[in-house]
Chains A and B, each alone.
Chain A
């Protein structure tokens, strides 16, 4: 019979965290920015159909980096959670805080109990009537949760990208401004100044969808031509 080596819990957790961090660091970054028109979610993603950004509920959106199969299953679970909650209580009772804490519990449970931790990092965003009511949560692979102010940056070169965003972020940015800032930040490690409109995936949570589009669903995916147009717009 082979003897099992003793591995201290500290070492075990550290190994798992290192493993997850390595997986996440390979991926491209995602930027979520709160601005005057709502919340802009921007990802470097050349695929037009495999999304990193998704709608969860009326005012809640989801963005992720890491392994696609893992965050896609988390996104679907989030949509199910939100729809069940909204159907059994009321649409108003679905909040980003509730969703984020469920995600935190799931990620935490997988981190400690499963064969391998999820190699993902998530952002959950909820748009409010005013910028002060916006909520941005960032969730990491081990289930820790952070309430961020103004913007969230996740992914491979998060620190460098976050530096650029922090430098350019102002509360009164409009959507085009937020998009330009995000695209500029995502190109931080590249030779180019900013990514072309076709290499990014972008969506927005409109601050007042009822008056603008007559829909209570704030989430709107921006098409490639819309992105290009917004990026090219007034400097």
Chain B
């Protein structure tokens, strides 16, 4: 703890946890590290995330695979996280950095809430995340990029909103749906056909799972539903009531019916 004597403290007062770490413990930040020259050995990469909006909220879903070159590094990894009570984020890219950036972002939001006694606005949260991704740019230039997708419920406007980012921290608001990661091209194609206005929440969950199924079908780095190990995508919905993780049981049923309908159709794709 810093010396709480007066004067000195007022100048240091910040509601941002990241700024506080930059002053007092810069070594704890996942980015801002100077990398020595040389080849970075293979590291796990997180893959596909999809997000879509529906009347009354947004949802985000991620598959469970991390790859390291052509090896499956993890079948159980989770890449979609609640950021706070009313927002979620999903991450694609270098898994180790991405998970730390997520953890830091969660603390950043909670820290602000505790210091200020109020939640950050949704745009404020989206901007903070953009600044963190920009902070990671030197690492991205070494090949350790992290690309998040951010979704939350805007309590002031009463709608769910989606934000995508580029590696420089650029923040773009997305309408209807978006996806990131290696399987995102295929997932986006599926979403274009499956998404429609006025989806109910349950239908929206099914659309997200099916889009991930299509991504896994064509992208080797994306994992499909795994009935052998009982592994299903991680899906979070965010609406006026807050963020909720969709239960394993619901997802098993949805994934089961998708596989079944595809088997019945008996077509190549």
Contact surface of A with B, Cβ cutoff 8 Å: 49, 51, 54-56, 69, 73-74, 76-81, 83-84, 86-88, 102, 106, 109-110, 114, 215, 217
Q: Which segment, of B55-63, B107-115, B191-199, B250-258, faces chain A?
A: B107-115
| B1 is an interface residue with CB less than 8 A from chain A | yes
- List residues of B (77-130) whose CB comes within 8 Å of A's CBs: 85, 103-104, 107, 110-111, 114-115, 117
Q: Determine the distance from Cα of A56 to Cα of B110 in the docked complex, in whole angstroms.
A: 10
Distance of B1 from chain A, by nearest CB (Å): 4
List B contacts of A83 (CB < 8 A).
17, 107, 110-111, 114
Contact surface of B with A, Cβ cutoff 8 Å: 1-6, 9, 13, 17, 20-21, 24-25, 28, 85, 103-104, 107, 110-111, 114-115, 117
Q: Determine the distance from Cα of A78 to Cα of B115 in the docked complex, in whole angstroms.
A: 10
Does the CB pair B107–A80 fall under 8 Å? no
List B contacts of A102 (CB < 8 A).
1
Top 4 A-B residue pairs of the complex, sorted by shortest distance between their CB atoms: A81-B1, A79-B114, A77-B4, A102-B1
> Given the interface contacts A51-B117, A84-B24, A88-B25, does A77 sit within 8 Å of B103 by beta carbon?
no
Instruction: Determine chain B's interface SS by DSSP, over half rule.
Output: helix
Does the CB pair B1–A77 fall under 8 Å? yes
Does the CB pair A110–B5 fall under 8 Å? yes
List A contacts of B103 (CB < 8 A).
87
List A contacts of B110 (CB < 8 A).
83, 217
List B contacts of A106 (CB < 8 A).
1, 3-4
Q: Determine the distance from Cα of A51 to Cα of B115 in the docked complex, in whole angstroms.
A: 11
Does the CB pair A54–B114 fall under 8 Å? yes
Q: Determine the distance from Cα of A77 to Cα of B1 in the docked complex, in whole angstroms.
A: 6
List A contacts of B111 (CB < 8 A).
79-80, 83
Q: Which residue of A lies closest to B1 (CB)?
A: A81
Does the CB pair A55–B1 fall under 8 Å? no
Q: Which residue of A lies closest to B24 (CB)?
A: A84
Q: Which residue of B lies closest to A219 (CB)?
A: B114
Distance of A101 from chain B, by nearest CB (Å): 10
Does the CB pair A84–B28 fall under 8 Å? yes
Besides A73-B9, A77-B4, A87-B104, 15 more A-B contacts (Cβ < 8 Å) are: A56-B114, A69-B6, A73-B4, A73-B13, A76-B115, A78-B1, A79-B111, A79-B115, A80-B20, A81-B1, A83-B17, A83-B114, A84-B21, A84-B28, A106-B4
Q: Determine the distance from Cα of A79 to Cα of B110 in the docked complex, in whole angstroms.
A: 10
Q: Determine the distance from Cα of A217 to Cα of B110 in the docked complex, in whole angstroms.
A: 10
Q: Which residue of A lies closest to B104 (CB)?
A: A87
List A contacts of B115 (CB < 8 A).
76, 79
List A contacts of B114 (CB < 8 A).
54-56, 79, 83
Does the CB pair B20–A110 fall under 8 Å? no
Q: Determine the distance from Cα of A40 to Cα of B150 in the docked complex, in whole angstroms.
A: 36
Q: Give 22 A-B contacts (CB < 8 Å), ordered by A residue.
A: A49-B117, A54-B114, A55-B114, A76-B115, A77-B4, A78-B1, A79-B111, A79-B114, A80-B17, A80-B111, A83-B114, A84-B20, A84-B24, A84-B25, A84-B28, A86-B107, A87-B21, A87-B103, A88-B25, A102-B1, A110-B4, A215-B85
List B contacts of A217 (CB < 8 A).
110
Q: Which residue of A lies closest to B245 (CB)?
A: A214
Q: Determine the distance from Cα of A73 to Cα of B24 in the docked complex, in whole angstroms.
A: 17
Does the CB pair A88–B28 fall under 8 Å? yes
List A contacts of B1 (CB < 8 A).
77-78, 80-81, 102, 106
List A contacts of B28 (CB < 8 A).
84, 87-88
A74 in complex: contacting residue of B4, B20, B117, CB < 8 Å: B4
Distance of A77 from chain B, by nearest CB (Å): 5
Find the residue from A77, A81, A217 having the highest chain B CB count within 10 A. Answer: A77
Q: Determine the distance from Cα of A88 to Cα of B117 in the docked complex, in whole angstroms.
A: 23
Does the CB pair A87–B107 fall under 8 Å? yes
List A contacts of B20 (CB < 8 A).
80, 84
List A contacts of B104 (CB < 8 A).
87
